[in-house]
A and B are shown apart, each in its own frame.
Chain A
């Protein structure tokens, strides 16, 4: 590490602690004068009023050496915009006019990272899967399915490592031995939630755990909302699986929407309070309705190349039967038995063809042969075995 590089890194580390993100004025200053000079100006207190308001409280708190040492101690590192690894491409979304118009959407000053993956590689094709912490069994099931399916499709699954949908999505991706990464809303030395410590370790092995907060920063409600913009920014699209009327997942969705990302929502029962947010997103046309992994891939994938295979229209058990088989099947009454001879009359199919049709229908589990003759198999819609 060259002295210049160390200085640069030290400056970024200092700046990441000195203001509570997002700090639009500080970001502007850094863009204007560069991080090294910006850090000196902030430390000296010679900054314009806006920046001073953002940094005043912490400007004397210089813990750069301690922070870098602490990160190094548990295998973490600081990734700064000057690094090749910086997900510059993903973060271009913060530079759009729409994003610049809102002070909430600012790129991070630097990122604290744990794990072996490279940020730019992991971010290349990523999908965020977010949702309620108090998810229902349905939500967790869908999240795990999507996590598994997306990771299996070669995509990185981004989420927040919270309980419920987030955790299920990470686990699904890990089960597929795919790539996943978590964005934390606190210092990386504080695993949050504590119950997911083991999960975070596994994520760090399979991908990375990222935070814009330096070590020692505690999780807080406002930090989750800030963190959500990073989740949205990293991913090409955000899937919301179960969100209440007021929820963090909806904030991620609105961040993604504002940053020009694809927003997708998984519908649930209209009676479920936990799907209200999803339905609202769809109703307000902020989100695309998705029900399967292929549809997610189509939404975020390359145009034309990742089209979801058309869903086969809901199948009736008798679909695909030849007209003759169908005629024989339809000739059987719903709840009574018939002999082949009687079926000839009702179906108009000759006797020998009826005799060969019935075993075929039996093979498909549509009809059975009992003491009174042949009858339809009821109950499971004819999908069961013979």
Chain B
């Protein structure tokens, strides 16, 4: 038979599209031609496949061969098609049964000696396969655990091309099957008990974690802003199965998965440096855009340290993901969509010189104003919790032992459960997501309770937006206190978490 086809998957962001690979062997000068918008890495596949087939002890057909990748208009990127290409060719040559390739997706890059190498994006590829009803997938053994996360699909792991070919000829030969999923212990997150003092800031982190609020920490260097931000992740609930798959898919596409943690179950913590480009933050690259920091922080924490040093363009670029929970990136080869629903934690010094004691500041007043002024506006508008950290004056400010992550986390989880129950059916799950008008009208509070906000509004201490933020925080504080609606003390305590430098 001179015609055969196999299946592979093209990735489009975190979505996979099934690609049919047809191989035709016909008369003519010996050679191999590939059609269907391959990129450079895929074009080089012809040399990799030839070497791998020969080094696997198979015959390279001395005839004119054509490989077509369909849908022909979809640009195809990367080296993950190698295995499918090799199998399609050999099936067309009659060396392996062509009907075995039906209903089977083959993923993997070939080394010249015939080994199978892991590729990025195995998880979304397997998900795409399942979506169209494919029930068997072969992946490189190194990616087997990742592929095995998808239920309802039989995944096989192979280390060499020969293994795959032998298995295709004789199913009894067998391929590696995934081990039963034993969830690896979640990576150790630094404990909150390590942070000395800073009661207010610790509390702010707790509130932010409980309500899903974005957080701004300001304070001189060495007060533990970064320490606290890193410990925030430990307070967040574990990812649900769906969330874990979403997050793992993004990390798979970004090539960040390691074989020992195939499934990401804890909220990721991503801390890009302040010199990062816009593309690295929100995603980008030529051809089809790759996920950036905002997507890697999906369902986790995006920590921007020294946020005032970030370029204004970088900060502005965060606005759409904050609003929409996803990024859509248009590049030459099309528009891709990556999820980006993260919790933002910002840390900043109060001024460029940042002395340990603010009174020693040598910055010109204009420089001080400009410094944090870069943050003002729409980005800061979405940050509900703002807290100033103070220099530590002694080693033990309180007699009590600082609370550990486990203790605080328990309160946070209870509060989150309460919030989820309240917003059930509305599409929101945390207080931070609820728009101000809904809080004011549908969940309006009696005047006695909102009195501090009214007074502050009346005296111009907070803006209308600030009032909404305070209201949202009041609900979170009520959740933390185990009340079903905020009391006036929650509202006034929420006022303490607002920014005092800018209303």
Residue-wise, chain A 28-60 has the 8 Å CB interface mask toward B (1 for contact) of 000000000000000000000000000000000
Count contacts on A: residues with CB < 8 A to the other chain. 22
Interface SS of chain B? helix
The residue in chain A whose Cβ has the minimal distance to the Cβ of B474 is A356
Asked if A359 and B199 sit within 8 Å, CB to CB, the answer is no
Instruction: Collect the chain B residues with CB atoms within 8 Å of residue A355's CB.
Output: 203, 493, 496
Across the interface, A359 reaches (CB within 8 A) one of B397, B398, B496, namely B496
| Alpha-carbon distance A342/B394, docked complex (angstroms) | 13
Interface string of B481-493 (1 = CB under 8 A from A): 1000000111111
Stretch from B39-47, B92-100, B440-448, B454-462 forming part of the interface with A = B454-462
Q: Within 8 Å of chain B (Cβ to Cβ): is A353?
A: yes
Structural contact, B489 and A363, CB atoms closer than 8 A: no
A359 with B500: CB separation less than 8 A: no
Using an 8 Å CB-CB cutoff, how does the interface string of A349-386 with B read, 1 for contact, 0 for none?
A: 00111011111101100000101110000000000011
Among B390, B397, B459, the residue within 8 A (CB) of A371 is: B390
Let me know if B358 is at the binding interface, CB within 8 A: yes
Verify B489–A353 contact, CB threshold 8 A.
yes
Residues of B within 8 A of A352 (CB): 481, 489, 493
Residues of B within 8 A of A359 (CB): 452, 492-493, 495-496
Q: Is the CB of B490 within 8 A of A342?
A: no
Would you call B324 an interface residue if the criterion is a C-beta within 8 Å of the partner chain's C-beta atoms? no
B455 partner residues in chain A, CB cutoff 8 A:
363
Q: Are A341 and B398 in contact (CB under 8 A)?
A: yes
Nearest to B480 among chain A residues (CB) is: A352
Chain B residues 408-458 with CB under 8 Å of chain A are 452, 455-456
In the assembled complex, A283 has its CB within 8 A of some CB on chain B: no
Q: For the complex, give the distance between the alpha carbons of A146 and B488 in Å.
A: 43
- Contact partner of B390 among A339, A360, A385, A386, CB < 8 A? A339
Measured in the bound complex, the distance between the Cα atoms of B400 and A342 in whole Å is 11
Q: Which residue of the partner chain, among B199, B399, B492, contacts A360 with CB atoms under 8 Å?
A: B492
**A359-B493, A385-B459 known; A372-B390 Cβ under 8 A:** yes
Is B452 a contact of A360 with CB atoms below 8 Å?
Answer: yes
Question: Which residues of B have CB within 8 Å of A386?
Answer: 459, 461
Q: In the bound complex, do residue A341 and residue B397 qualify as a contact, i.e. CB atoms below 8 Å apart?
A: yes
**CB of B359 within 8 A of chain A?**
yes
**Contact A363 B495, CB 8 Å, known A356-B489, A386-B461:** yes
Cβ distance B400 to chain A, nearest Cβ, rounded Å = 8
Which residues of chain A are within 8 angstroms of B398 by Cβ–Cβ distance?
341-342
A339 touches B200 (CB 8 A): yes
CB interface residues, B 467-503, toward A, < 8 Å: 481, 488-493, 495-496, 500
State whether A358 and B390 are in contact (beta carbons under 8 Å apart), knowing that A341-B397, A363-B455 are contacts in the complex.
Answer: no
Which residue from chain A places its CB closest to the CB of B398 in the assembled complex? A341
Knowing A339-B390, A339-B397, A353-B489, the reply to whether A371 touches B358 (Cβ < 8 A) is yes
Known contacts A359-B496, A363-B495; A340/B200 CB under 8 A: yes
Rounded to whole Å, the gap between the CB of A231 and the closest CB of chain B is 47
Q: Which residues of B contact A345 (CB under 8 A)?
A: 399
Q: A371-B359, A373-B390 are in contact. Are A356 and B493 (CB under 8 A)?
A: yes
In contact, A356 and B200 (Cβ under 8 angstroms): no
A363 close to B359 (CB less than 8 A)? no
A357 touches B492 (CB 8 A): yes
Encode A279-315 as 1/0 by CB contact (under 8 A) with B: 0000000000000000000000000000000000000
A340 and B201 CA atoms in complex are apart in Å by: 11
- Report the minimum CB–CB distance from B415 to chain A (whole Å): 13
- Docked Cα-Cα span, A357 to B489, in Å, equals 7
- A352 to B477: give the CA distance in the assembly, Å: 10
Contacts of B489 in A (CB 8 A): 352-353, 356
Is there an interface contact between A358 and B496, defined as CB atoms closer than 8 Å?
Answer: yes
Per-residue contact bits, chain A 319-338, to B (CB 8 Å; 1 contact, 0 not): 00000000000000000000
Which chain B positions have C-beta within 8 A of A340? Answer: 199-200
Which residue, of A345, A356, A358, A385, has the highest number of chain B Cβ atoms within 10 A?
Answer: A356
Contacts of A357 in B (CB 8 A): 492
In the complex, which residue of chain A has the Cβ closest to the Cβ of B493? A356
Q: Which residues of B contact A385 (CB under 8 A)?
A: 459
Chain B residues, CB < 8 A from A353: 489
Interface residues of B in 192-211 (CB under 8 A from A): 199-200, 203
Q: Which residues of A contact B359 (CB under 8 A)?
A: 371
What's the nearest-Cβ distance from chain A to residue B220, in Å? 9
Q: A356-B488, A371-B391 are in contact. List 10 more A-B contacts (CB 8 A).
A: A339-B200, A339-B390, A342-B398, A356-B496, A358-B496, A359-B495, A360-B495, A362-B496, A363-B459, A371-B357
Closest 7 CB pairs of A and B: A356-B493, A359-B495, A356-B489, A359-B496, A371-B358, A356-B492, A355-B493
6 contacts between A and B (CB under 8 A): A339-B397, A341-B199, A352-B489, A359-B492, A359-B496, A386-B461
